[in-house]
Amino acid sequence: MSKPVQRARRARLLGTAAVVSVAAIALAACGSGSSDSATGGGGAGVSDSAIQQAKDTIAQLEKPITNWPAVAPVTKPVDFTGKTVMVIPLGDTIPVMHGMALGAKQALEHQGATVTMCDGKINPTQVASCLQQAASQKDFAVISMFVAYPMDGTGFDAAAKAGVKVLIAGDTPEKGKTYPAGIDFFSFGTSLQTLSQHEADAAIAEKGKDTNVIWLGQTDSADTIAQADAGEKRFKEVCPSCGFQLARYSTANSDKVPSTLSSLLVRNPKTNVVVLPVDTLAPQALQGIQSAGYAQKVTIISTGGDLSGLQRIASGTGQSHDFAAPVLYNGYAMVNGLMQLAGGQKVDPLVNVTRDISKNNVKNIKLSEDEYFTNHWFGDDSFEQAFYTAWGSK
């Protein structure tokens, strides 16, 4: 299947980009790939050393995070004391977005800012209202989270022209397009590709030469198309003879998820792994798996670290790996992007940090809603001081 750039651009208008798939997602389309689950597998063309390398990678990712990425000093750190910053998550009821917003709020308040939260409610009209409010009250800055620029390009432009610094987190600028001064992007694209590569390693580490995958890949944005492409590339590099079936999907048809996946499973009876880009798709995927009679035959590998995903791993019901995102760290990283924008620097993209939660380590963490919004599932919180130092504060 070709990479549908035009379809991706239309999907971006729905306002869901990168990690945003945490809202409702759906299969819309087709399978692709040179080998599929009906005929793949058997181990020819894959070495024991390649499988062992995948196992070693996953074992390392299962360990607590203590070596956080270095944070380069901001060249011209801005004093946020007395300044108002609005944080606009596309949907604040979505755990990963709420957690990142909390991290951003914590970091900004440490720097003396007044933070207002404006929930986009996964609704273009509400997002527009938030941006209008920020512009009318002349906030110092806005951080939008996973709101694709085309969702309200007029609103973003108007806020920037009113003097508001606008950081669009979770989207990537369109090539060749010029944006007003004061607008920049904090991209998750490279991080998403790394997560997808980890999922490929996890599938092969778990099933070895007999791995047969149905891989669900988003078309919501150029970033999410590249996310699935990166996973497919890694999977076929490590295990070229393993079964692989790629299904592209968008947010447009969430009611199609169970039936489409069920149909794919019936057509690919050797499938033993279903790979998802994000946990929030799991309920629809599980419905399709159960409908096809595959509940005892396949395991889910996903990303996001939602509590429900970890609970499935702990209970041994349908999921084996969850590449969890440290939401507070990601919130701090977005604020670092805003610091760079405000200081006239180029905004660096998100550096991927994740911990693989599996049956090997889930028993060592406390599973609760409150714990999701802490650093406890990942390791220490030394990254906080690293950011403060980069911003010239204590």
Q: 30 vs 185, which has greater pLDDT?
A: 185
pLDDT at 28 over 70: no
Encode pLDDT of 338-385 as tens digits.
999 999 999 999 999 999 999 999 999 999 989 999 999 999 899 999
Look-up: residue for tokens 């760079």? 340
pLDDT of residue 3: 42
The ranges assigned to domains in the chain are 5-64+190-324
pLDDT digits (tens, 9 = 90+) for 112-169: 999 999 999 989 999 999 999 999 999 999 999 989 899 999 999 999 999 999 999 9
Q: Let me know if 67 is exposed, middle or buried by CB neighbors in 10 A (0-12, 13-18, 19+).
A: exposed
**Mean pLDDT to the nearest integer, 30-38:** 39
If one compares 30 and 280, the residue with the highest pLDDT of the two is 280
Mean pLDDT for the chain overall = 88
Cβ-defined contacts of 177-186 (< 8 Å, 24+): 179/149, 182/341, 183/156, 183/157, 184/337, 184/340, 184/341, 184/347, 185/149, 185/347, 186/333, 186/334, 186/337, 186/338, 186/347, 186/349, 186/350
What is the mean predicted confidence (pLDDT) over 88-107? 93
Domain 5-64+190-324 has CATH 3.40.50.2300: yes
Q: What is the pLDDT of residue 45?
A: 64
Token code pair at residue 280: 């929030």
Residue 296 confidence (pLDDT) above 90: yes
- Predicted TM-score (pTM) above 0.75: yes
Mean of pLDDT values over 194-217: 96
How big is the CA angle at 266 (ends 263 and 269), to the nearest 5 degrees? 145
Sign of the torsion formed by the C-alpha atoms of 112, 116, 121 and 124: negative
| 207-247 pLDDT tens trace | 999 999 999 987 777 788 889 999 999 999 999 999 999 99
For 70-79, the pLDDT digits (tens) are 999 999 999 9
Neighbouring CB atoms inside 10 A of 125's CB total: 9
Q: Are 103 and 329 in contact (CB under 8 A)?
A: yes
